[in-house]
Amino acid sequence: MIYEVEGDILLTDAQVIAHGVAAMDPMTQGLAKALHERFPAMHKDFHHWCHQQHPKPGEAWLWGGTNGVRIVNLITQEGGYGHGARPGKATAAHVNHALRALKKMAKKEKFTSIALPLLATGVGGLGWNEVKPLIQQQLGDLDIPVIIYSAYHPQQKADESIAL
């Protein structure tokens, strides 16, 4: 069940926020930056996981913080390794594999709802017309609300009542 809303994803009532990054991403842009600033432990734990696991694009990593916060880092982009390395662009294949990993994780962890930005369309560089069908294909048959934040309005809570 996919729903589109407008507002600030950081104010979502969804159980999980998922977003796209590269392995070892410095998280200095977009939603990743906002999540890094709000949850510095998530960023530190993500880098620790990357050092240990050397994830490839298409993988996903779940972080759980205080007060039930759950964030899924979807590896949608190449790069990030090496001193000063910057994340590369996302590819539709990487996004598709990462969404498949998210779907598997959602079932295993029994997520009750997921909030997504316009995944991989900012720093990732993909067009929404490429990504939206992948989300529909991979997550459309989940029996939980998948809330896509189609427009960002800072500090504005979206009306998620139709979904949650």
18-27: pLDDT as tens digits: 999 999 898 9
What is the per-residue pLDDT for 82?
Answer: 56
Domain 2-152, second-level architecture: 3-Layer(aba) Sandwich (3.40)
- The predicted structure's pLDDT at residue 100: 98
Give per-residue pLDDT as tens, 13-59.
999 999 999 998 989 889 999 999 999 999 999 999 999 999 999 99
Binned average pLDDT, 10 residues per bin, the chain of 164 residues: 97 97 91 95 95 94 92 90 68 97 98 97 94 98 97 96 88
pLDDT for the residue 62: 98
70 forms beta bridges with 16, 64
pLDDT score recorded for residue 79: 74
Please report, for the chain, the start and end positions of each structural domain, with discontinuous segments joined by +. 2-152
What is residue 80's predicted lDDT score, i.e. its pLDDT?
Answer: 61
Secondary structure of the chain as H, E, C letters: CEEEEEECHHHCCCCEEEEEEECCCCCCCHHHHHHHHHCHHHHHHHHHHHHHHCCCCCCEEEEECHHHCEEEEEEEEEECCCCCCCEEEECHHHHHHHHHHHHHHHHHHCCCCEEECCCCCCCCCCCHHHHHHHHHHHHCCCCCCEEEEEEECCCCCCCCCCCC
Structure tokens at 155: 């500090």
State the pLDDT at residue 123.
86
Res 59: pLDDT: 97
Calculate the CA dihedral of residues 38, 32, 108, 112 and round it to 10 degrees. Answer: 60
pLDDT score of 93: 97
